[in-house]
Structure 1
Amino acid sequence: MDDGNQRTWPPSYFRFDGGLYTPTGLARSPWDRAAVAGGPISGLLATCAEDPLLERDFVIARYSVDILGKVPHQPLLVEKETLRDGRQTKLHRICLLADGRLVAQAHVLRTRKLQTPDFPAAHDYPPPENVADSEGGNRPSMAGGIRYRTVLGDVGLPGRAISWIDVRGEMVSGVQASPFVKAALIADFGGGFGNVTRPGEWSYANLDVTLQLLRMPVGEWLLLDAVTHMAGIGNATAECTFADRDGVYARGFQTIFVAPGSQSTNLPRHAGDRK
């Protein structure tokens, strides 16, 4: 089995062989070496969701992923089904299975293409060429396959974070990742980038990923603007804005399970405990 120091270029998260997707060492979860991380899960399901024939007349308007438990670091099977096959909208379900057990799923909502009024979302993000490369830190690196140019905040610093991200690696070995697949990967980064607490004090587990797409992303550099909100009852919501050189292309959300971390001095209490 691969370790996390993959030396081939470009690096990849999965290899496809014999009808199965085998995760490389780079796909391991930082919290559990026997599990696959959320970003690669989202990216793999997005890879399998792409359909060039459908996308001539339809556009992906919503992409959502539910992680249904630990995704084991072993060969995985992907199955697809059509839930709605209308003339105006189509809904597909992409299932990820380990030994026949459903461990994650994506729902892909497509709408027909039609020329309509254009009202782009306003933003004031600097272009990537005006931001210096970010070195070091605790960001997902993909063995050098991901570059960052930080605009505001950073992983490990409580509060809102904004960063340009260039994913140069492959989701599946030998297959060039599209901007949509790269967007699905970094959509899982919202909880880590926009964490409002210190990682050692509170741990964050991402339970899902949702992308509401205005259009498909374009180009190499994609921007993530993330902030997390909590109400003190054990969960959090990461709220994200995604942009490219042409402007905002999507909004996104993640549901996050919050628990005391290794350095926490607080004990979890039930919401009804007012002592």
Structure 2
Amino acid sequence: MAYFERLSDTAFRATEHTSGAWVLAEQHIAPALGLLAHVVERDRDSRRGDGLVVVRLSYDILGTVPVGPVETGVHVLRAGRTIELVEATMAYAGRDVVRLRAWLMAPGETGGYAGSRLPRIPSPEQMGPWEPASVWPGGFIASAQLRREQVEPGRAAYWVRTDTPLVEGEPVSRLARAAGLFDIANGMTVRADPGEVLFPNVDLTAHLFRQPAGDWVGFDTTVSFGETGIGLTSSVLHDETGPMGTLAQILTVRPR
């Protein structure tokens, strides 16, 4: 079973594999973010065939969403020959729950200049397996395979992959599959016991200077809490060939 089943051109049903982690009857937002990336790419492919790639995914998470049917929509905010800005939405029972603004750009040949000083993390084979269900409940967390190298609470490097398809019976790009795992970052190296402190994120922004390759998505993550109820989860994103971008999630920190 996949995270979502398609109901129509714009509607999908979330399955039990999307459940958790704060409340089991609600979706873990990670698969939904991947679904919206998929919706953006399908819309792009229906309009043009010149190979624009997604380079930024900026999501606003407007509220919780039950495990159930959702409706999606997409439109172009800024059309262009080589650069365009697209907005996609997800709604439940007529209420928007996620909005995505994605920048797409035409790729070019810059292999002679390629490189990054962002530090690499050890490969998945160099890290030991870790069971995230020891911290978090729900179908989504149960579907994820983790390898982790923990430094201290709030600081870790880890790799994530899943065998669960994003959409039942439908081809999905590596970018959309990876995007469906990005939100797991806020929870893989907690600073505080989630039984004592709530710290959900209200947004997620990923910048990608390279498109993902392979099944594993790597994270080099630091979690920071301020003194006034605000936190930040910051990650450098990797595939097995090296760094590919960055990720940020702003948190509302609420002692129980």
TM value normalised by structure 1: 0.82
CA contact (8 A) 1:190 1:227 kept: no
Match of 2:21 in 1: 30
For 2:84, which of 77, 81, 90 is the aligned residue? 90
Match of 1:207 in 2: 202
CA contact (8 A) 1:141 1:147 kept: no
Q: Which amino acid aligns with 1:102?
A: D
Match of 1:272 in 2: none
SS of equivalent to 2:180: helix
SS of equivalent to 2:187: helix
- Say which structure is richer in helix: 2
For 1:46, which of 27, 37, 42 is the aligned residue? 37
Pairwise CA RMSD of aligned residues? Answer: 2.2
Specify which structure has the bigger relative contact order, considering alpha-carbon pairs within 8 angstroms and separated by 6 or more residues.
2
Q: Which amino acid aligns with 1:82?
A: V
TM value normalised by structure 2: 0.87
Distance 1:141 1:114 in 2: 40
2:117 equivalent to 1:127:
no
Shift of 1:56: 4.1
Distance 1:31 1:144 in 2: 14
Shift of 1:176: 4.5
Match of 2:242 in 1: 247
**Structure 2: tracts of 5 or more residues without a match:** none
Shift of 1:252: 0.6
Describe the shift of the 1:123–1:56 C-alpha distance in structure 2 as closer, same or farther (beyond 3 A): farther
CA contact (8 A) 1:42 1:209 kept: no
Task: Give % identity.
Answer: 26
2:161 equivalent to 1:183:
no
Distance 2:189 2:129 in 1: 19
Describe the shift of the 1:227–1:36 C-alpha distance in structure 2 as closer, same or farther (beyond 3 A): same
Residues paired across the two proteins, number? 248
Shift of 1:141: 6.2
**Structure 1: tracts of 5 or more residues without a match:** 1-10, 262-275
Q: Which amino acid aligns with 1:124?
A: R
2:6 equivalent to 1:13:
no
Q: Which amino acid aligns with 1:148?
A: L
Radius of gyration: which is bigger? Answer: 1
Q: Which amino acid aligns with 1:126?
A: P
Describe the shift of the 1:15–1:33 C-alpha distance in structure 2 as closer, same or farther (beyond 3 A): same
SS of equivalent to 1:18: coil
CA contact (8 A) 1:121 1:247 kept: no
For 1:1-275, what aligned pairs fall within 5 Å after superposition?
A: 11-19=1-9, 20-51=11-42, 53=45, 54=48, 56-116=50-110, 117-135=113-131, 137-138=134-135, 142=140, 145-153=143-151, 158-261=153-256
Distance 1:144 1:243 in 2: 22
